[in-house]
Amino acid sequence: MANVTILSHPLIKHKLSIIRDKSTSTKQFKECLDEIAGLMAYEISRDLETKEVEIETPICKCTAEVLAKEIVIVPILRAGLGMVDGIRNLIPTAKVGHIGLYRDEETLEPQTYYAKFPKEITEGTVILVDPMLATGGSLVAGIDILKGKGAKDIIYVGLVGAPEGIARVQATHPDVHIFLAALDEKLNENGYIVPGLGDCGDRIFGTK
């Protein structure tokens, strides 16, 4: 699939299996999510641009490479928050914006309640984070908001995606690269990913 990368590293697979298990505690769920987010950040950061700078080591002057653009992490609340720490551990200079969205349980349509971004979203690389890509409504709405604020370079990082959601995002925002830990089978009649991991926000925060 164009613009979709499934990061099937053995450690990501192993930790995702723990996360999927319904007997996994809130504590262990969050710990594994942090670890997966860090591993995914390492993989996706391979493609970040670097630029040359002149530095002076204790021995001599030399040319070295640093990240060319600012990085802005934007979680979609609530569940996206669960992946921020793991990514920030690897890219501690990243700024963080927030988009507040929830899926209406009846219509499955996204409802926006919050949006705040650092100024770097217009020229930087935006890593949009949300563990679950189900119908794709939330992700499309999140990308719409970011582009409306001037973001031009956006990548998406999530845990589990359904084919329906991927197709919707590809049709609406083909420029946004999708990185997932797993591509699942389908959505059920309630819009949940099968086999999935249940309601990710509830599992991260211990609600319901």
192 binds ligand PRP (CB under 6 A): no
Inter-residue contact 136 to 161 (CB < 8 Å): no
137 binds ligand PRP (CB under 6 A): yes
Beta strand 153-161 with 132-133 is: parallel
108 binds ligand PRP (CB under 6 A): yes
- Which of the choices ligand PRP, ligand URA, none does residue 42 contact, using the CB cut-off of 5 to 8 A by kind? none
Largest CA distance in the chain: 65
Element (H, E) at 40: helix 26-44
132 binds ligand URA (CB under 6 A): yes
- Which of the choices ligand URA, ligand PRP, none does residue 192 contact, using the CB cut-off of 5 to 8 A by kind? ligand URA
Element (H, E) at 36: helix 26-44
47 counts as catalytic: no
75 binds ligand PRP (CB under 6 A): no
Residue 151 or residue 193: which is nearer to ligand URA going by CB? 193
Bridge partner list, 95: 72
- Which of the choices ligand PRP, ligand URA, none does residue 102 contact, using the CB cut-off of 5 to 8 A by kind? ligand PRP
85 counts as catalytic: no
Q: Which residues touch 93 (CB under 8 Å, ≥6 apart)?
A: 67, 70, 71
Residues 182-201 that bind ligand URA (CB under 6 A): 192-193, 196, 199-201
Helix (H, G, I), strand (E, B) or coil at 14: helix
| Least distance between ligand URA and beta carbon 201 (Å) | 6
| Cα–Cα dist 3/11, whole Å | 23
Bridge partner list, 55: 62
Chain residues binding ligand URA by CB under 6 A are 79, 132, 134, 192-193, 196, 199-201
Q: Which residues are catalytic?
A: 103, 107, 199, 202
